[in-house]
Amino acid sequence: MLRVGLTGGIGSGKSTAARRLVELGATVIDADQIAREVVQPGTHALREIVARFGDEVLLPDGSLDRAGLARIVFNDPRALADLEAITHPAINELTATRMAAARRHGIVVHDMPILVEKALTSDYHLVLVIDAPVEERVRRLVESRGMSESDARSRIGVQATDPQRYAAADAVITNTGSVDELTAAVDELWTDRLVPFDTNIRLGVVSRRPDELQQTLSEPQERWSHDAARLMGRLHKALGERAISIEHVGSTAIPGLIAKDVIDLQIGVADLAVADQPSFIDAMTAAGFPRAPGVWWDSGADGKEWPKRLHGNADPRRVAHIHVREHGSAGWVWALRFRDWMRDDAEARQRYASLKRDLARRLVRTADYAAAKEPWFAKAQADALSWASARGWRPPS
């Protein structure tokens, strides 16, 4: 089951996108609707709210005066905290029930306005943000919802900022046109990404880049660090204490360096036997990171093979290699030492970039590209050791 977190600022068009996802076949769980359900007359949460805030938060028919309660807690952090302590457990319980009731194999969308504000990115396989410029959102709120301009700007001002949403987003749909254009963009995402992503999770398929080098080598991208952070958050949530460490490694972890558009992450485990346990493999697969078939190792500077396990990302638009190594092993240390050396030594980083560009001009296949770098890496291991000695570098404990 693919779990999608859907969010966006007020007036962005998120609700329109959610309706289209339902039409396409998704199960949409509406966080706002659940928040209303848990405070219906007769519920435990409503009784607790009345006990805390008094009968004045009730309407004549006995239902909650949501607008009146909002005015009470809006500028009172203590009151807001008390309200959330009452409602959040009920909301979380009902949300979990709805999630469990969804189809085992299918796409479930959690329509969550404050997903970014609550730092819930790791709860989903993919976070979709519906975006629109602030001025456009203000216009929509004034014209379609009858808000005053000042009220609209105030509502927008207390929500997450655009940079915060972009950092949390795996996919962004910019909604500045017509409803038909937004619908077409949602349809494209559904067909090209969500459905294949769901299929890959069900079948345990790892997404890969094309073998043609020119289609994979990229200039440095700011989004690489954000992509890595989201993936690491999902890995931490899936593995818990089984992962001693999770790090962004490889070329995309080195600012300013040309690289294949593939995120390399390293998980440190106490022993590779941990990574071979069915519970570990199942947790990784359920989180969207199936195990890659085959036997995997790195070619060590000591002439030995450094064993590892390899997982990948099931997302067809975000290829990632998840290297599972024994924490503290030679291969684990090398990945961190190389990354930190490249980050620190501008001259070495330039030499490596020049090698990459030269190989990209001469070679076609990524497999040939990887093999052609091996002689350079043989010398680089000694250079990295010299750098580490001079800097007093030690791997993280």
pLDDT at residue 397, rounded to an integer: 77
User: Which residues of the chain have a pLDDT value below 70?
Assistant: 103-105, 211-216, 364
The pLDDT value given to residue 321: 97
How does strand 305-312 pair with strand 296-299? Answer: antiparallel
Instruction: List pLDDT tens digits, range 94-111.
Output: 999 998 888 666 899 999
Strand 320-326 and strand 263-269: the pairing is: parallel
List, for residues 74-90, the tens digit of each pLDDT value. 778 999 999 999 999 99
What pLDDT is attached to residue 215?
57
Report the pLDDT value the prediction gives residue 212, as an integer from 0 to 100.
Answer: 66
Looking at beta carbons, which pairs linking 242-248 to residues 24 or more positions away fall under 8 Å? Answer: 242/269, 242/274, 242/280, 242/283, 243/267, 243/268, 243/269, 244/268, 244/269, 244/270, 244/327, 245/327, 245/396, 247/335, 247/336, 247/339, 248/339
